A and B are shown apart, each in its own frame.
Chain A
Amino acid sequence: MSDIVLETRGLTKRYGGVHALEDADFVLRKGEHVAVVGDNGAGKSTFVRQVTAVEQRTAGEIIFDGQPVHFAGPLDARQAGIETVFQTLALADDLDVPSNLFLGREIFKWKLGPFSWLDRKTMRDRTLEALKTTAVKIPNVDNPIRNMSGGQRQCVSIARTAAFASKLVIMDEPTAALGVQETAQVENIIRGLKDRGVPLILISHNLRQVFDLVDRIVVFRRGRIVANLRRDQTDGNDIVSYITGVKGGAENAA
């Protein structure tokens, strides 16, 4: 059993004539936190969308957990153990925190098709537990999340991911819309994942954050991976050079 959690070989996505992602070779090892950086349109989100099967790849191979995989959709990916926080919040505003955490994976007292009886107490207890382990502070979990601040909602979204994370967590710009305090909270959750040994792919524009959090940085430019560097062997200027194309050739740290 190798220690590679996720590997892509020659992953390619074209939209008509647009080469959004070309020949991406990527490796993620157990417990490793990797940042994916790059300019807008560099292919970061496209890369994630192929891995999570939100879109179907044009070519290439994805090997997850030692097996080549062909997920039919994001649900398949989630069932296989890939939890994703998307740029757009996937939360239901009118539901409370436990309902959102357990949306699509409810716990039942007894099952009867669509009329299965929900075990609300267990879900509420586990929610409080999950919020505790991820250090997310939500004052009243029984309120609909509509009434919460953007940061709190993002925390719910991330807590959901973290709580159910088994094999891999992917976060696409988790702090893009957040204030300073909220960003700090999200970063704490990410550190918590690191401590628990859950591997992470973090897409971020925030280089300060990237250098604070991850082990390795992968730079995308024009749909290609142009750099793959260990955090302690590079610096901000170096990364920016790759992002902007001042430096070009592929250098591999792995």
Chain B
Amino acid sequence: MAEASSHGLGGLKYDPAKRTRAPEWNVFFALVGIVLVFELLNRLQGGSFLFNMRDNVDAIFNQQRLDIMILQVAIIGIIALGVTQVIIIGGIDLSSGSVVGVTAMVTMSFAQTAMVNGNPNPKAIFGEWAMDLPVIVPIVIGLACGLIAGLINGLLVAYTKIPPFIATLGVMVSARGAAKWWSNGQPVSFPTESYGQLANGDLLGSVTFGLLSWDGQNPAVIFVVLAILFHVIMTYTLYGKRCYAIGSNEAAARMSGINVDRHKVLVYVIAGLLAAVAAVLLTSKNLTAQAGMGVMYELDAIAMAVIGGVSLAGGRGSIIGTVLGAAIFSVIISGFTSVKLDAYYQEMVKGAIIVGAVVLDQWRQRRSARS
């Protein structure tokens, strides 16, 4: 197609043969690079990061660290899957952390067991009404919480036309308040055994991966399944096409007959549902729910998406990018811990990374606008 490059119409050069490499590859290379840097730093300190250095142990990976990282990626990553879709349509969701909080409280209340060690559950929210409900009940109620929160976000954004930033900020504050109000700020504990199995169990059974035995794998498995599901939806279905169209040019989408408002509501509802899934897994993992659960998760989730190349301007980004972004995010946090960087510094650096990722995004946009 050599002759096609003569299509520099209007003085603008456009080389059709040059199909730009998918931006996800850059994120992937960054991930590998960051892992190697931390591995090196750890070796210099005489330790190890992800890879085991002791010859007497039959494992390639540093199991403990990897377990923590995978759990972290999984739970906040599930939220990030929804946040990614919201950002792609040109919105933002600041409420997801608080939605995790309120969903955790409500869900756990319905997951409580009636008897603890032969005595009535001392923490029972519903007092003498406490009973061991089938595990599906708290799950459905949890998802309903997420759905309602997402619906409120979506309706506010789509029909009041207030900026998504403000709408979801309001829901963020109110949902946190609801989480505290639910049990007067008291934690809710002692779930049924089957509820505890949700996050601590092993859907895949006993798995050894790279000589790594993998227990409590459910959050990660669910994360991967959801990531694949939404990758497929965003890539191959009308839903995904509409998300990108709306984020890209909302007026054009409207002109083309897309019911933009209804689609926005749907996207925020899905984001709410995913936050609820994260809340169920989080409470199941910890066997307790507190009103403060999920604080700042919204920002971590947004950071994962942005690091993964999802543009805050809307229209660009992908689920794969966010998954890689989540991995980078987690590697950086664990990496700082592994090199014994103080937790306060970690938060400061985390902020810098988010800002840095957005600056990079702006820079990429300007460059693509010029080319």
A94 pairs with B248, CB closer than 8 A: yes
| Chain A min CB distance to B25 (Å) | 17
Given contacts A108-B238, A179-B10, contact A139 B247 (CB under 8 A): no
B366 interfacial contact with A, CB 8 Å? no
A94 pairs with B256, CB closer than 8 A: no
Binds B, one of A36-44, A144-152, A215-223: A144-152
**Most chain B beta-carbon contacts within 10 A, residue among A93, A118, A146, A152:** A93
A187–B160 Cα distance when bound, in Å, is 43
A143 pairs with B253, CB closer than 8 A: no
Binds A, one of B1-9, B198-206, B337-345: B1-9
B241 pairs with A106, CB closer than 8 A: yes
Counting contact residues on chain B (CB < 8 A from A), the size range is 35 or more
- Contact string, A168-184, partner B, CB cutoff 8 A, digits 1/0? 00000000001101100
A178–B253 Cα distance when bound, in Å, is 24
Instruction: Please name all residues of chain B whose beta carbon is closer than 8 Å to the beta carbon of A88 when the two chains form the complex.
Output: 251
A233 interfacial contact with B, CB 8 Å? no
Instruction: Please name all residues of chain B whose beta carbon is closer than 8 Å to the beta carbon of A86 when the two chains form the complex.
Output: 255
Counting contact residues on chain A (CB < 8 A from B), the size range is 35 or more
Instruction: Please name all residues of chain A whose beta carbon is closer than 8 Å to the beta carbon of B248 when the two chains form the complex.
Output: 92-95
| Chain B min CB distance to A99 (Å) | 6
Instruction: Please name all residues of chain B whose beta carbon is closer than 8 Å to the beta carbon of A108 when the two chains form the complex.
Output: 238
Given contacts A114-B237, A115-B233, A151-B10, contact A94 B16 (CB under 8 A): no
A116 interfacial contact with B, CB 8 Å? yes
Given contacts A74-B255, A104-B258, A114-B263, contact A147 B371 (CB under 8 A): yes
Given contacts A94-B247, A114-B242, A150-B10, contact A103 B368 (CB under 8 A): no
A116–B237 Cα distance when bound, in Å, is 5
| Chain B min CB distance to A172 (Å) | 13
A86–B12 Cα distance when bound, in Å, is 23
A146–B370 Cα distance when bound, in Å, is 10
Instruction: Please name all residues of chain A whose beta carbon is closer than 8 Å to the beta carbon of B237 when the two chains form the complex.
Output: 112, 114-118
Instruction: Please name all residues of chain B whose beta carbon is closer than 8 Å to the beta carbon of A90 when the two chains form the complex.
Output: 249, 251-252, 255-256
For A95, give its contact among B16, B238, B245 (CB under 8 Å).
B245
B315 pairs with A182, CB closer than 8 A: no
Given contacts A108-B238, A116-B238, contact A137 B7 (CB under 8 A): yes
Residues of A185-209 at the interface with B, using a CB-CB cut-off of 8 Å, are none
A142 pairs with B19, CB closer than 8 A: yes
A75 interfacial contact with B, CB 8 Å? yes
| Chain B min CB distance to A17 (Å) | 28
A78 interfacial contact with B, CB 8 Å? yes
A149 pairs with B245, CB closer than 8 A: no
| Chain A min CB distance to B247 (Å) | 7
Instruction: Please name all residues of chain A whose beta carbon is closer than 8 Å to the beta carbon of B244 when the two chains form the complex.
Output: 92, 94-95, 99
Instruction: Please name all residues of chain A whose beta carbon is closer than 8 Å to the beta carbon of B129 when the two chains form the complex.
Output: none
Closest B residue to A84 using CB positions: B255
A118 pairs with B241, CB closer than 8 A: yes
**Most chain A beta-carbon contacts within 10 A, residue among B236, B239, B241:** B241
Instruction: Please name all residues of chain A whose beta carbon is closer than 8 Å to the beta carbon of B19 when the two chains form the complex.
Output: 140, 142-143
B257 pairs with A78, CB closer than 8 A: yes
A214 interfacial contact with B, CB 8 Å? no
For A99, give its contact among B10, B241, B316, B371 (CB under 8 Å).
B241
Residues of B1-48 at the interface with A, using a CB-CB cut-off of 8 Å, are 1, 4, 7-12, 14, 16-17, 19-20
| Chain B min CB distance to A93 (Å) | 5
Instruction: Please name all residues of chain A whose beta carbon is closer than 8 Å to the beta carbon of B266 when the two chains form the complex.
Output: 114
| Chain B min CB distance to A243 (Å) | 28
**Most chain A beta-carbon contacts within 10 A, residue among B8, B16, B242:** B16
A117 pairs with B10, CB closer than 8 A: no
**Most chain A beta-carbon contacts within 10 A, residue among B10, B242, B251:** B10
B238 pairs with A92, CB closer than 8 A: no
Given contacts A151-B10, A178-B10, contact A93 B257 (CB under 8 A): no
Instruction: Please name all residues of chain B whose beta carbon is closer than 8 Å to the beta carbon of A179 when the two chains form the complex.
Output: 9-11
- Show the binding face of B for A, using Cβ within 8 Å: 1, 4, 7-12, 14, 16-17, 19-20, 233, 236-239, 241-242, 244-245, 247-249, 251-253, 255-258, 263, 266, 315-316, 368-369, 371
Query: What are 26 A-B contacts defined by CB distance under 8 Å?
Result: A78-B257, A90-B249, A90-B255, A91-B249, A92-B245, A93-B248, A94-B248, A94-B316, A103-B253, A103-B256, A104-B256, A105-B257, A114-B242, A115-B233, A115-B238, A115-B239, A139-B4, A140-B17, A142-B19, A143-B16, A143-B19, A146-B368, A152-B9, A152-B14, A179-B9, A181-B10
- The 4 residue pairs across chains A and B that have the minimum distance between CB atoms: A139-B16, A104-B256, A92-B248, A94-B315
Q: Beyond the given A140-B16, A149-B14, could you list 20 further A-B residue pairs with CB under 8 A, ordered by the A residue number? A: A91-B249, A94-B316, A99-B245, A103-B241, A103-B245, A103-B252, A103-B253, A104-B255, A105-B257, A112-B237, A117-B237, A118-B238, A139-B7, A148-B14, A149-B9, A152-B9, A152-B14, A179-B11, A181-B10, A182-B9
